[in-house]
Amino acid sequence: MFSAIPEYNGSPPPAPPEFPQVTPALLRYLPSAPVRARYLDSLCEALKVHPSINVQHFQQRVEAMCIWGENNDARAKSDLARDIFGSGAGPSKPAKERAQAPSPKPTLSFFAAASVALALGSIMTHENDKPPLGDCDPIQRNTPAGLFALSKQALQLFEETNPHDLDSVITMLLQVLFLMHDGQMRISHMVFPLVGKMINVARMMGLAIDPDEFQGTYSLFEAETRRRVWWDIFYYDMVVSECMGHQSLIHENSFTTKIPANVDEERFSPSSTMLPVPEEGSNTSIVYFLLRCKYVTRTLLLVPCTDRSY
């Protein structure tokens, strides 16, 4: 009935297989530096009205991840990874402890977020253009569809081997945004299920509870990012549910997460210890976001979608 247990022969057991992870070879599937820069610049414009992330910081992380993959100096690579992707021994700990801490690596969840972000940037950059000469190859790494497929595969692998993190939720948000802007009507069979999954994952991660209720757990930047992500999810839940003719999954009294703060994006970073207030009269993305939520709440939900064909 059962197979025999192999006799111990004194040799160590085989090492368990490593979980899938980001490698320099995987990073070569992303566009080259000049093309990547153009896509990220276009992404900045696109995300001005979708402030779920601090775009400037996101760009820095994408470039740092690519530099990490190209750097052959092991020590410099370790320092860069520790600064950008974090580790158990942060800068506040003794140098000896930091040196002994395992070098972190870019996560598949962030790679997935970067891939779909570049797919969005690709749409915005050359909807009717051909990719630049010298950057076209058999895997079509610069096409929106190719980058989106890369994002989906990376996120799936991450979810199979890791608990969800904030980057995985941001990936889903960007995937929803991509699917709603790639020119194909796929609300019913792709966007609607993805929004439902995103809501459940966000709740599981505690995003429906304001970060202030977890005292000492999150930095100022992390807390604001969690608020932005939750409220962007709330927005898409309202819009997509209405277009499908269903009630929203997130009810008004089912969460405590506060509205995100209105800050100067260019001066707001993970090292910020106070919220940088924008200059008076400046038109920031958060202001637009709040106006957009008010519009959806007061107008869209009162006027049914006329086109439910998709």
Kindly give the confidence (pLDDT) of every residue in the chain, 310 residues in length, as a single tens digit, with 9 standing for 90 and above: 434 444 445 555 554 446 788 988 999 999 999 999 999 888 887 776 666 788 888 988 898 898 888 876 666 666 666 556 653 323 334 444 444 445 567 899 999 999 999 999 998 886 545 444 344 443 455 789 999 999 999 999 999 999 999 999 999 999 999 998 876 667 778 899 999 999 999 999 999 999 999 988 899 999 999 999 999 999 899 889 888 888 999 988 899 999 888 888 888 888 888 988 877 655 555 555 555 555 555 444 444 444 433 3
Structure tokens at 266: 């260019």
Domain boundary among 136, 161, 182: 182
Q: Specify whether 238 is located in the same domain as 114.
A: no
Per-residue pLDDT, 302: 43
Q: Specify whether 151 is located in the same domain as 233.
A: no
- Confirm whether 10 is domain-assigned: no
Q: In this structure, how many other beta carbons lie within 10 angstroms of the beta carbon of residue 78?
A: 20
pTM of structure: 0.78
Count of the separate structural domains present in the chain: 2
- Confirm whether 251 is domain-assigned: yes
49: left (phi over 0), alpha (psi -120 to 50) or beta: alpha
Q: Specify whether 246 is located in the same domain as 169.
A: no
- Confirm whether 7 is domain-assigned: no
- Confirm whether 71 is domain-assigned: yes
Per-residue pLDDT, 148: 94
- Chain centroid to Cα 211, Å, comes to 19
Domain boundary among 139, 163, 182: 182
Q: Specify whether 165 is located in the same domain as 259.
A: no
User: Which structural domain, as residue segments, surrounds residue 99?
Assistant: 19-85+95-182
- Confirm whether 206 is domain-assigned: yes
Full DSSP string of 90-153: -TTS-HHHHHHSPPP---HHHHHHHHHHHHHHHHHH-SSPPPPTT---TT-TTSHHHHHHHHHH
Q: Does the CA dihedral 29-31-37-39 come out positive or negative?
A: negative
- Confirm whether 118 is domain-assigned: yes
Per-residue pLDDT, 226: 94
Per-residue pLDDT, 6: 43
Domain boundary among 182, 200, 219: 182
- Confirm whether 2 is domain-assigned: no
Q: Specify whether 100 is located in the same domain as 189.
A: no
DSSP 3-state assignment of 59? helix
Phi/psi of residue 134, nearest 5 degrees = 90, -10
Q: Specify whether 47 is located in the same domain as 174.
A: yes
- Confirm whether 9 is domain-assigned: no
Q: Specify whether 195 is located in the same domain as 170.
A: no
Q: Specify whether 115 is located in the same domain as 168.
A: yes
Per-residue pLDDT, 163: 93
> What whole-number distance in Å separates Cα of residue 14 and Cα of residue 2?
22
> What whole-number distance in Å separates Cα of residue 119 and Cα of residue 133?
18
